[in-house]
Amino acid sequence: MKALVIGGGGFVGPYLVKHLTNDLGYEVTVTKTVKETLNMDNVTVKDLDILDIDQIKTLLEEEKADYIFHLAAQSSVAYSWKNPTLTVDVNIKGCINLLEAIRQIDKKPRVLLIGSGEEYGHIKKDECPIVEDNVVRPGNIYAATKSCQNMLGKIYSDAYNLDIMMVRAFNHIGPNQTPMFVVADFCKQVADIEKGIQEPVINVGNLSAKRDFTDVRDVVKAYAKLVAGGKRGETYNVGTGHAVAIEDILKSIIAMSDKEIEVKVDPAKLRPVDVPIIEPDISKIKKEVGWEPVIPLEQTLKETLEHWRKEQN
């Protein structure tokens, strides 16, 4: 099988590429942005800007891939408040460019569009765990763009008979994630405190929000299963099915350190709008492609903290 991973220079891409090549034996081409560096064995790496449809068309014609994974995005909720235009451009215009390019090529690939659990937004209490056909009420700009991507995927799938599947991935975590995301941020701060380069005070945002955290290595296995066995035009939740309070995550990470650490709320880390609980129902993906996560949260937190301890050395 030949796979094309678009936007593979970020956090998830290298894990996905590794799974596709090492575990599944696929031939893989991965794209990155010009400013990124990506050194991976046994894969072809190409530069791509998804805002340029001609670049996408050339790439697709060269690759003739069986499967396309569309990871390219402005992926941070916090940053989407700061730069809404860029978020809309990359996440919506970039996606429509890809879909249009696919519509125009002869060899039609199976395509997985990566959306987000954030799309569900303002969840009502009786809607948890959230099923895929729940109403979406996005509560931030990133979520709105991903929700739009999902709709575009469905429209292109129905209107042009394209094999497009959509994912709503809930929070995924692991070593190498940027500290713009909460778990990496906490782990980096604890590692900095241990090294003595930060006061023994950890700065946090909203601790009461409950989110579902899945190890990125489980997440990429879900993507591989969905692109191969998912149903055209369908959306699948990817998560553990169990939301955890950010406060409990923080306590677990602090407990892994032998330092006395004070917790301080930093108003700069509070988001303009926060959704109290987001927890998916994952029965659809379990039933249709036989995926479920296996890596325990404690293990992921431990490995992420270890990653930051090594980074500081």
239 binds ligand A2R, rule: CB under 6 A = no
Contacts 24+ apart (CB under 8 A), 74-78: 74/142, 74/145, 75/10, 75/11, 75/142, 76/142, 76/180, 76/181, 77/118, 77/140, 77/142, 77/143, 77/271, 78/180, 78/271
Residue 243 backbone dihedrals phi, psi, to 5 degrees? -75, 145
12 is a site residue for ligand A2R (CB under 6 A): yes
Minimal distance, residue 97 CB to ligand A2R, in Å: 9
Give the shortest CB-13-to-ligand A2R separation in angstroms: 6
Contacting ligand A2R (CB under 6 A), which of 20, 50, 60, 123?
50
Q: Is 72 in the site for ligand A2R (CB under 6 A)?
A: yes
Residue 2 C-beta: closest distance to ligand A2R, Å: 20
Pick the binder of ligand A2R from 49, 127, 306, 311 (CB under 6 A). Answer: 49
Asked if 10 is part of the footprint of ligand A2R (rule: CB under 6 A), the reply reads yes
In whole angstroms, how close is the CB of 181 to ligand A2R at the nearest point? 8
Contact with ligand A2R (CB under 6 A): which of 21, 29, 75, 140? 75
Instruction: Say how far apart CA 138 and CA 187 lie, in whole Å.
Output: 28
Distance CA 38, CA 166 (A): 26
- Sequence length of the chain is 313
CB 33 within 8 Å of CB 47? yes
Please name which of 117, 152, 154 lies closest in space to residue 136, comparing C-alpha atoms. 117
Q: Which is nearer to ligand A2R, 114 or 243 (CB)?
A: 114
Is 129 an interacting residue with respect to ligand A2R (CB under 6 A)? no
At 184, the amino acid letter reads A
Query: Which tokens hold the place of 15?
Result: 């894990």
Given the complex with ligand A2R, which of 72 and 289 has the nearer CB atom?
A: 72
Map residues 97-116 to x or -, x wherever contact with ligand A2R holds by CB under 6 A: -----------------x-x
CA dihedral 204, 205, 211, 214 (to 10 degrees): -40
CA distance linking residue 307 with residue 182, whole number of Å? 15
Taking contact as CB under 6 A, which single stretch among the options 19-27, 68-76, 101-109, 250-258 is the one that binds ligand A2R?
68-76
- Determine, following the binding rule CB under 6 A, whether residue 174 of this chain makes contact with ligand A2R: no
Selected binder of ligand A2R within 2, 18, 27, 36 (CB under 6 A)? 36
Considering only 28, 45, 68, 73, the residue that binds ligand A2R (CB under 6 A) is: 73
The answer to whether 165 and 230 are in contact (CB under 8 A) is yes
Q: Is 35 in the site for ligand A2R (CB under 6 A)?
A: yes
Q: Which residues contribute to the site for ligand A2R (CB under 6 A)?
A: 7, 9-13, 33, 35-36, 48-51, 71-75, 90, 94, 114, 116, 169
